[in-house]
Amino acid sequence: MTRLTLVLALLLSSTGSVMAGQSQLDDLHISRAWSRALPPVAPTGAAYMSIENRGGQAARLVGVSTPIAERAEVHQHTHTEGVMRMQRVDDVVIEPGQQVDFAPGGYHIMLFNLNEPLAAGASYPLTLRFEQAGDVEVQIDVQDDAPQAGHHH
């Protein structure tokens, strides 16, 4: 392989991966993004949403962040011997054609050391980091009750 061919091949392969990332971003549909309203003194909160993967390859959520909390983590509730606990998970995989619901009692985004209250009617940005697709920013609506099932923005 000549040097020029090698450079061309490298260029083509990197362009290809960027495009794959872009298209996977388009394949991720996030709906029902909400937080439960809490009293202003609450130090922690949680965010919920549904993530649907309409693409052909698995998507892996590897991180979360938001300006309204010092730290955000992906958590899962587990039942062990009748006791409900929650624990941090490193990633959540959304298989092609699948939807994963983050909801009370299951997966949730845990927010530590809130620097503004989760007041009903407010909203705030949350960034979901996917391994291939990159960052997706969603707007989280703060409300008293869970949104209706099947409601999409």
Mode of pairing for the β-strands spanning 28-36 and 99-102: unpaired
Q: Which of residues 4-63 bind Cu ion (CB under 5 A)?
A: none
DSSP 8-state secondary structure symbol assigned to residue 111: E
Which of 107, 130 has the CB closer to Cu ion? 107
Nearer to Cu ion, 28 or 47 (CB): 47
Give the interface segment with Cu ion, choosing from 11-19, 51-59, 103-111, 121-129 (CB under 5 A). Answer: 103-111
Using CB under 5 A as the binding criterion, the count of chain residues that bind Cu ion stands at 3
The least CB distance from residue 48 to Cu ion, in Å, is: 11
- In the complex, what is the shortest distance from the CB of residue 121 to Cu ion, in angstroms, rounded to a whole number? 24
Residue number, 17 or 44, with CB nearest to Cu ion: 44
End-to-end CA distance of the chain: 51
Q: Which of residues 78-97 bind Cu ion (CB under 5 A)?
A: 86
By CB under 5 A, name the one of 48, 61, 75, 141 that touches Cu ion.
75
Name 126's bridge partners. Answer: 138
Least CB distance to Cu ion at residue 54 (A): 28
Task: With CA atoms as reference, report the closest residue to 25 among 135, 137, 131, 133.
Answer: 133
DSSP per residue over 30-95, as a string? EEEEEEE---TT-S-EEEEEEEEE-SSS-EEEEEEE-TTEEEEEEEEEEEETTEEEEEE-S-EEE-
If one asks whether residue 110 binds Cu ion (CB under 5 A), the answer comes out as yes
Under the rule (CB under 5 A), what is the footprint of Cu ion?
75, 86, 110
